[in-house]
Structure 1
Amino acid sequence: MTRYAALLRGINVGGSRKLPMAELRALMDGLGYAGVGTYLQSGQAVFATGHGDEESLAAELASAVEKRFGFTVDVIVRDHAYLRAVAEACPFPAAGLEGRQLHVTYFSRPVEAARFAEIDPGSHLPEEFRLGDRALYLYAPDGLGRSKLAEQLSRPRLTKGLIATTRNWNTVLKLIELTAGE
């Protein structure tokens, strides 16, 4: 069986699209997933399964959430090896930073650098971003909530046609740990 993390976008934020984690775990158990667990209340779940691939598992979970809770939710599913590879490829000195200063935006598919060509990297320093494999790394020394660069990177025209969901570095590392094994 392969261990995965499911990243649900935009749930339990601002009082809307409520999805209790206990109910999400029960839903995932009902789909036949093994070793189901959740992390925090903001849409991270881990599980194991021997069937499907990342895209089909994401679609299956999104469909089940819509049927059970009555709203659509974007879901990205990534396996342990991918999550670990993203962390290992981080272009910033993660070990020397606070978790709130470093973020990874996971994309549903590969993204061309040209999509972000309109952003002038020098105008946001010391904030910086780099593209990776279906991921974007953001260094925001004052945190995501104060980041002007994060605001620009999340504009709808830049993410059009993609599912994009961002996690801080602490969550990135925790998902690697939780998907490492039972």
Structure 2
Amino acid sequence: MPAYIALLRAVNVGGTGKLPMAELKAMCEEEGFLAVKTYIASGNVVFTSKLKEQAVKAALESRLEAYAGKPVGVMVRTAAEMAAVLADNPFPDAPGNRVVAIFLDAAPPKDTLAAVRHQGNEEVRLGKREIYVRYDDGMASSKLVIPAAKAGTGRNINTVEKLAEMAAVL
């Protein structure tokens, strides 16, 4: 049975989209997912399911919309895909808290890099279904705008590594 990682968009960030992780775990278990574990309170959940990726995504998005009263974006990756996101990090020498992988549903559009605005010290690289950003000066002071990232959700490389480890043992 495949192991999956689901990454929820805009959950428990800056006071918006409050969702207790115990509630997220219960939702996943009610959908029939097994070995469910959450990681930190920002909408990360690891589990196994006999369903295909799109069915997992649809089930979670439906359940979350019913809970929140509005759509909640969910990006899903298999354990192997999450390991590949970590391995493909184009900034392996940067501190893990200074590199973010922005997860998308599909490959980044061809004009992603050309559309970037307000770029300072940040470096942006494209992955398979991710956009990697290196924030040398940290995210807090960044003015970087990546229009293609609007529908995605970001996790720093430290979190990606932990989620990959959690999924690998399922």
**How high is the TM-score relative to the length of structure 1?**
0.86
Question: Could you tell me which residue of structure 1 aligns to residue 110 of structure 2?
Answer: 113
Amino acid at match of 2:3: R
Give the number of the structure whose residues are more often helix, by fraction: 1
Overall identity of the aligned pairs, in %: 39
Query: Once the two structures are superposed, what CA deviation does each residue of 1:75-97 show, in whole Å capped at 9, x if it has no partner?
Result: 011001111111111111x2x32
Matching of residue 17 in structure 1 with residue 5 in structure 2: no
Query: Once the two structures are superposed, what CA deviation does each residue of 1:34-71 show, in whole Å capped at 9, x if it has no partner?
Result: 0001001111001101122x222111101011223433
In the TM superposition, what is the alpha-carbon distance from 1:159 to its structure 2 partner? 4.4
Amino acid at match of 2:139: L
Mapped to 2, the partners of 1:132 and 1:16 lie a distance apart of 28
Stretches of structure 1 that go unaligned for 5 or more consecutive residues are none
Give the length in aligned residue pairs: 170
Amino acid at match of 1:87: L
SS for the counterpart of 1:37 is strand
Matching of residue 74 in structure 1 with residue 67 in structure 2: no
Contact 1:100 1:144 in 2 (8 A): no
Q: How does 1:25-44 map to 2 (within 5 A)?
A: 25-44=25-44
Amino acid at match of 1:5: I
Stretches of structure 2 that go unaligned for 5 or more consecutive residues are none
Mapped to 2, the partners of 1:47 and 1:74 lie a distance apart of 18
SS for the counterpart of 2:46 is strand
Mapped to 2, the partners of 1:168 and 1:73 lie a distance apart of 20
Q: Which moved more, 1:168-177 or 1:105-114?
A: 105-114
**How high is the TM-score relative to the length of structure 2?**
0.91
Question: Could you tell me which residue of structure 2 aligns to residue 181 of structure 1?
Answer: 169
Change (3 A) 1:103 1:159: closer
Which residue of the other structure, out of 147, 152, 156, is the alignment partner of 2:142?
Answer: 147
Matching of residue 165 in structure 1 with residue 153 in structure 2: yes
Mapped to 2, the partners of 1:28 and 1:119 lie a distance apart of 36
Mapped to 2, the partners of 1:10 and 1:86 lie a distance apart of 20
